[in-house]
Amino acid sequence: MVDGNQSAIELPGKDFSESRVEADGFSIRYLESGSGYPLIWMHGGAGLRLSRTHDLLALKRRVIAFEIPGFGESPANDRTQSMKELAETMLQAISALGIDEFDLVGNSFGGKLVAWMAVCAPERVQTLVLVSPAAIRLPKPDDAGDRGLGPDFLYAHPERQPPFEPRSEEVVTKERALISRIRGPARDEELESSLAELEVQTLVLLGTEDRISRAELGDIYRELMPACQVVMVYDAAHALDADRPEAVTSVMEDFLDRHEQFLVRETSGLLYP
Amino acid sequence: MLAALFCTTRYGGPASHTTWPAACDTYSAEWAEKSIERTLSQFRAGDEAGFDWVTVAEHHFAPFSMTPNPMVMAASLVNVVKRAKIAILGPDIPILNPVRVAEEIAMVDTMSGGRVVVGLMRGSPNEYVTYNINPAESRERFEECYKIIKTAWTQKQPFGWQGRFYEYRSVCTWPRPVQDPHPPIYMSTASPEAGEFAAKNRIGAGFAFTTVQIASKAAQFYRDKCNEYGWTPEPEQIVYRLGMHCAEDDDEAIEDLRSAGGGQPAVGLSFRNRSVESAVAQSGFYGRDMENQRGRLQSRGEVASRIEKGQVLVGTPETILKQIKRIRDMLGCGVLDLSLGAQLGDKTMKSIELFGEKVLPRMHEL
C-alpha cells in the first residue's frame, strides 16, 4: 500500500504532546493538544492512531487521547478482567488529570469502552460520541481475519492515508489477548440494559463503507438508546475519522456544542445580502 | 422479453425543437392540456395492449417533454394504468434533493401497490443548467445520491447523513416503498464509469440515445464487471430504449416515420445549445470515454440507417420481431423501452394496439 504519494501525506498529530498519568496502578500514556472544554478519546483495537479529526477538534477544545493499558508499548495488561473494570480505570486516569466533566469519544473497541464509562459515571459525561462502535458486534466478514484490521478494512481510501505502519507481532499478540479477554459478548445484555436507561446525549457515527460496524447498526442503536442520534458518514470505512476528517469534525462539533438541537440548522443559506 | 411504452409528453403545438432552453412565446395552455391528455390516452392504450411497463422521464425547459417532474406524471398514471409497471426512468438525481426523490418514489410505489421500477439518472448535459448544478460534480453527486436514496429506503430508524455534497441531520421517510427492500433500480450505463458503478452496486443497466453497436460494447463491459463483482445480471436487468412505429405494411410504416421527421428531432436535447454542451463537456461530465459519449448523442440519420443502428423498430409486426431478435442477440437485453417520439395521431394509437396484439405475445416468449 505504501507508495511515494502516501509518504508525502503529512502525519496527523504533530501538535500533540505525549505525557503519562498514574491511575489504578497503571502508568498510562496519553497525547494531548488544544485548550478549552476537555474531549477524551479512547482508541480502537488497532491501537492509538491519531487522525486529522483529532487535529481539527484540538483547534477548539482540549483533546486528550489515551492509550489503553496493555496497548502499544505499554506492558502487557494481565490484570483487567472486563470492559467495566477498564472503564473504571480510565475514569480514574481522567480524574488524575484533574478533569471532572468532559465530552467522551470512542471508536470501535473504544466505543464499547466509552459506553461503559458513560454508564459508570453518567454525571461526568456531557456528551458521548460512538465512532464505528463495537459496543454491539455484528458477525465479521469472512475475509476479516483475526489479527486485527488492516488498511483495507480501516479506510475507504487507504491511498489517501499516511503509510500504514503495522505493529509488531509481539504487540499484536499482547493486545489481542487483552481484547479477547475483556471485550465481552457480541450482544452484552448488562451493557445494553444500562444503555437503554442512559440519559447522556449520544451521537453514533457509522461509515457507509464500514464492513465491521455496518450501517445496519444505526437502527439497532436507535432502538436501544432512544436519546441517541445516528449519522452516516458517507464514503468512510471503519476509521471514519481518518477517512472524512472535515465531515466528522463538523458534525461532532455541532453535536458537542448544541446537543440534540444540532438537528436544526443554524448556519445561513443566504447567498447574497 | 418485456416491452415498455415510453411517452415523453411532447408538446403538440407550435414550438422550437432546435433550441434549449426553448422560449415559451408560442406556448398555449390549451395545447399543453391536449398534449397531456394525449399522453395519458397513449399510456392507457399501452396498458390495455399488454405493455409490461409504461415509462416516464425527466427533462426540462423544452417542448420535447413536459414532465420536468416525472413523479407527478407517474402519480397520475397510478389510476390510468391499471396493470403495467410504472417505470420512472428517471429522476436526474444529481440535480435534485435525493431525500425528496426517495420520498416521492416511495409514494408512487405505495399508491400503485408496488408497481414502480426506478431508473436513477444523471440526465443529459443541459439539465445541469436547470437548477444551476456544476456538471463537473455530476458523477460524484450521483453516487452519493444513490447511497442516500437506498439508505432512506432501508433504514427504519431516523439517520443523519454527513456526505460530500449532501448533509442531513435526520431522515426517516414516510411512506416507505411497498416492494421490499425497494423497487428494482436501473441506471444509465453508457459510460465505463457508470457500468462499473452499476456492476459494483448490483444495479440494472440502461441504454438510451445510442446505437445497438455502441450499447452492445457497453453491455458487454457491464456484464464483465458484474462477473468481476461476483454476480450475473438477469436479462431483465438490461434495458434498451429506442423508437417504435408499427403498421400493417412495411413501406407505410417507414413513410409514416419519415413524414414525422424520422421519429425523433433532428437535434437531441443535449446539442440544442452548443455552448452549454461544450461547457459541460469541458467540465469532464462525460468521463474518460468522452468522444464516444458525445458521438452517440449526435448519431442521427435516415430511417433505414436508424433501423440498422437499432435506434428504431419500424415495420409490420413480423418485421419488428426480426428487428427485436437482432437487438436482443447483439445486446442481451431483456427489456425494450419503446419511445413514441413521433406523434402521428390515430396511426400512433394503431401502432400501440398492433404491437400489443401481434408483437408482444411473441416477444414475451423470446
CA angle (A268 as vertex; A266, A272 as ends), nearest 5: 175
pLDDT score at A188: 95
Mutate one of A232, A258, A263, A265 to test the B interface: name it (highest B CB count within 10 A).
A232
The residues facing A40 across adjacent strands are: A64, A104
Give B280→chain A minimum CA distance, Å.
Answer: 24
pLDDT score at A147: 54
pLDDT score at A167: 82
pLDDT above 70 coverage of chain A, percent: 95
- Name chain A contacts of B156, Cβ cutoff 8 Å: 219
Q: What is the pLDDT along chain B (366 residues), one digit of tens a residue?
A: 999 999 999 999 999 888 899 999 999 999 999 999 999 999 999 999 999 999 999 999 999 899 999 999 999 999 999 999 999 998 999 999 999 999 999 999 999 999 999 999 999 999 999 999 999 999 999 999 999 999 999 999 999 999 999 999 999 999 999 999 999 999 999 999 999 999 999 999 999 988 999 999 999 999 999 999 999 999 999 999 999 999 999 999 998 888 877 656 556 777 788 888 888 888 888 888 788 777 777 766 788 888 999 999 999 999 999 999 999 999 999 999 999 857 888 999 999 999 999 999 999 999
- Is A263 part of the contact surface with chain B (CB cutoff 8 Å)? yes
pLDDT score at B264: 61
For residue A67, pLDDT beyond 70: yes
Mean pLDDT of A25-32: 97
Q: Give Rg (Cα) of chain B.
A: 19
> Rounded to two decimals, what is the model's pTM?
0.93
- Is A232 part of the contact surface with chain B (CB cutoff 8 Å)? yes
pLDDT score at B169: 97
Among the partner-chain residues A223, A232, A247, the one whose CB lies closest to the CB of B159 is: A232
Among the partner-chain residues A219, A234, A263, the one whose CB lies closest to the CB of B161 is: A234
List the beta strands (DSSP E) in B122-166.
159-162
- Is A261 part of the contact surface with chain B (CB cutoff 8 Å)? no
Is there a contact between B169 and A263 if contact means CB atoms under 8 Å apart? yes
- Name chain A contacts of B161, Cβ cutoff 8 Å: 231-232, 234
Is there a contact between B160 and A251 if contact means CB atoms under 8 Å apart? yes
pLDDT bucket at A155, cuts 50 / 70 / 90: very high
List the beta strands (DSSP E) in chain B.
2-6, 53-56, 85-92, 116-121, 159-162, 167-171, 185-188, 204-207, 238-246, 312-315, 335-339
For residue A8, pLDDT beyond 90: no
Query: pLDDT, tens digit, for every residue of B327-355?
Result: 999 999 999 999 985 788 899 999 999 99
CA angle (B236 as vertex; B230, B240 as ends), nearest 5: 110
The cell for A69 is 493499558
Give A240→chain B minimum CA distance, Å.
Answer: 11
Rounded to two decimals, the ipTM of the complex is 0.94
- Name chain A contacts of B162, Cβ cutoff 8 Å: 205, 231-234, 244, 247-248, 250-251
Is there a contact between A218 and B170 if contact means CB atoms under 8 Å apart? no
For residue A1, pLDDT beyond 50: no
Closest residue in B to A222 (Cα) is: B157
